[in-house]
Chains A and B, each alone.
Chain A
């Protein structure tokens, strides 16, 4: 299995632009998580899907952030408009709920100038 796939790996954009991060979870996993990692705040859970349905989005910073999971093999995290304080590494993780381990993707490093 290729593991969790994220794209792009790096994204540099200007303030005000729309940013879309993509994730393909491991096949057969039914939970998907989006995290943000910064030096200031560490690793934070943004949103959690189970069977493609958002379960907990309490970690989404504000309305500029949105996430979708149209099917079991694809999810997006969108920031519109982006701001410099959104600069971080964004991780996607997936899990088979029959076991406890979450598998993380390689992350997308976002820089907003």
Chain B
């Protein structure tokens, strides 16, 4: 029978191109947001975070943008490499629940060589 599960959006990019992964969050009271990368067979790995009082934060080859007006978060990866292929999750910190993270469904990034 057909299996039913989360249908994760997939982003396919050519090696060397820039990638933009988007995320919508639900709670305007969340005080920070985190992007995680999960490779096959591994646990999620921290990439970058951003406080709610910031609009942009840059790391090594990654930039996170936060638009609080529309509750939107994006992760930009410059010069995407095959090793960037993974599932990417955004997470928002919910202080009202004792500082616990609520994760999005995830986006699959596939890098074509």
CA distance A67 to B16 in the complex (A): 45
Is there contact, CB below 8 Å, between A107 and B49? no
Residues of B within 8 A of A102 (CB): 34, 46, 101
Is there contact, CB below 8 Å, between A48 and B98? yes
Interface residue count on the A side (C-beta < 8 Å): 25
Q: Of the 9-residue stretches B2-10, B19-27, B65-73, B74-82, which lies at the interface with chain A? A: B2-10
Interface residue ranges of A1-54 to B (CB < 8 Å):
4, 31, 33, 38-43, 45, 48, 50
Is there contact, CB below 8 Å, between A43 and B100? no
CA distance A93 to B43 in the complex (A): 9
User: Contact partner of A100 among B43, B49, B103, B104, CB < 8 A?
Assistant: B49
Residues of A within 8 A of B43 (CB): 4, 91, 93, 104-107
Is there contact, CB below 8 Å, between A56 and B97? yes
Q: When each residue 100-111 of chain B gets 1 if its CB lies under 8 Å from chain A and 0 otherwise, what string results?
A: 111111100000
Known contacts A100-B32, A102-B46; is A45 also within 8 Å of B100 by CB? Answer: yes
Q: Does B61 contact A (CB under 8 A)?
A: no
- Min Cβ gap B102→A in Å is 8
Q: Does B45 contact A (CB under 8 A)?
A: yes
Is there contact, CB below 8 Å, between B49 and A39? no
Residues of B within 8 A of A42 (CB): 6, 103-106
Q: Which 9 A-B pairs have the closest CB atoms?
A: A104-B43, A39-B5, A43-B103, A101-B46, A55-B98, A104-B44, A40-B5, A42-B105, A107-B43
- A contacts, CB < 8 Å to B: 4, 31, 33, 38-43, 45, 48, 50, 55-56, 91, 93, 97, 100-107
- B contacts, CB < 8 Å to A: 3-6, 32, 34, 36, 42-46, 49, 89, 93, 97-106
